[in-house]
Amino acid sequence: MNFSEKLKTLRKQCNLSQEQLAEKICVSRQAITKWETEGGLPDIENLMAIAALFSVSIDDLLSEEKLSRVVADYAYESVMEYDISRPTHFDIHAPCALAVNLSLADNEKIRVRLASNVLQTLAQDYKVQLDEHQSRFDVNIRRVGKNSEAEGKAALVIFISLPSKYCDDIELSAIADALRINGTNCPFELDGKAKSVCLDGVKGRVSLNSNTDMEICADELPQAIEINQINATSILRIPRNVKYFTKIKGKSNRIHFALDGKAVDSLRPL
């Protein structure tokens, strides 16, 4: 099974149309059609977005071997859970990973799931340390095994679920190719690096502190998005017909606006 066949199979398994898939990874429907009809391959950033969306590795997407596992399944995983009983600030430190997925759940547990189709000894190679303080909860995911940072960045996927009723705010320190934040209403801050950032149903304030180029996709605008960078350029994709305003801080910073890939005036409503 080649890439075009795999992409079409994964899309249909998730009951997504080409338009829906295009929206989720911030490309045009024509691009999806092109990839599914063997008209070319996505660039590395789009490959990472597809891999993160369908929870597979880039190697799985590009390998000629047939995908043998269900979309959301992984060959290897390690899971830790812990009960939370009061509102708290979550301070999360993650190792280098292919993708980090953060979400809120309607329960009273923090759940950390490490998954991979490549790394066989996750439980031995990574340790999750949980420290509860009076008003802060520290989550420290550490690499302790013999595998390298490069191996983790190529094959480790981290899923973190936090209890929505007890989540005051979230601070994440991470380096990942893809970062996905799902359904958070509380303030969120990233310190680290992420090439692709996807905000799904995020309504709270978002602060992204990352001195690397980012592609940010939001299905709706949160309360505010602060992008703090030095010597880097980022793209923020938002839905049409959304009211917004922008504010520039710092020297030599610029904001450019585009609609359907064409430059537009900054005062024109999108």
**Neighbouring residues of 250: CB distance < 8 A, sequence distance ≥ 6:** none
Residue-wise burial string across 134-168, b where 16 or more C-beta atoms lie within 10 A, e elsewhere: eeebebebebebebeeebbbbbbbbbbbbbbebbe
Averaged pLDDT, 65-82: 64
Closest CA to 237 of 221, 255, 254: 221
- 182 band by pLDDT with thresholds 50, 70 and 90: confident
The CATH homologous superfamily to which domain 3-62 belongs is lambda repressor-like DNA-binding domains (1.10.260.40)
What ranges do the domains of the chain cover?
A: 3-62, 76-264
Looking at per-residue pLDDT, the higher value among 59 and 191 belongs to: 191
- Mean pLDDT on 177-190: 90
Q: Please name the residue that has the structure tokens 């596992």.
A: 69
pLDDT (average), residues 5-22: 89
pLDDT in tens, 124-142: 999 999 999 888 999 999 9
What pLDDT sits at residue 57? 72
The answer to whether the beta carbons of residues 184 and 166 sit under 8 Å apart is no
> What pLDDT band is residue 71 in, cutting at 50, 70 and 90?
very low
**Residues β-bridged to residue 216:** 197, 236
Q: Which residue has the higher pLDDT, 55 or 135?
A: 135
pLDDT band, very low/low/confident/very high, at 90 (cuts 50, 70, 90): very high
For residues 242 and 259, the answer to whether their CB atoms sit within 8 Å is no
* Percentage of residues in the chain having pLDDT higher than 90: 41
Tokens standing for 252? 């030599």
Confidence of residue 113 (pLDDT cuts 50, 70, 90): very high
When pLDDT is averaged across residues 183-202 and rounded to a whole number, the result is: 90
What is the CB neighbour count within 10 angstroms for residue 196? 23
Q: In sequence order, what are the residues at sequence separation of 6 or more whose Cβ sits closer than 8 angstroms to the Cβ of residue 22?
A: 28, 29, 31, 32
Grouping H, G, I as helix, E, B as strand and the rest as coil, residue 44 is helix
Cα–Cα distance measured from residue 94 to residue 115, given in angstroms and rounded to the nearest whole number: 13
What value does the mean pLDDT of the chain take? 86
Q: What's the pLDDT score for residue 144? A: 93
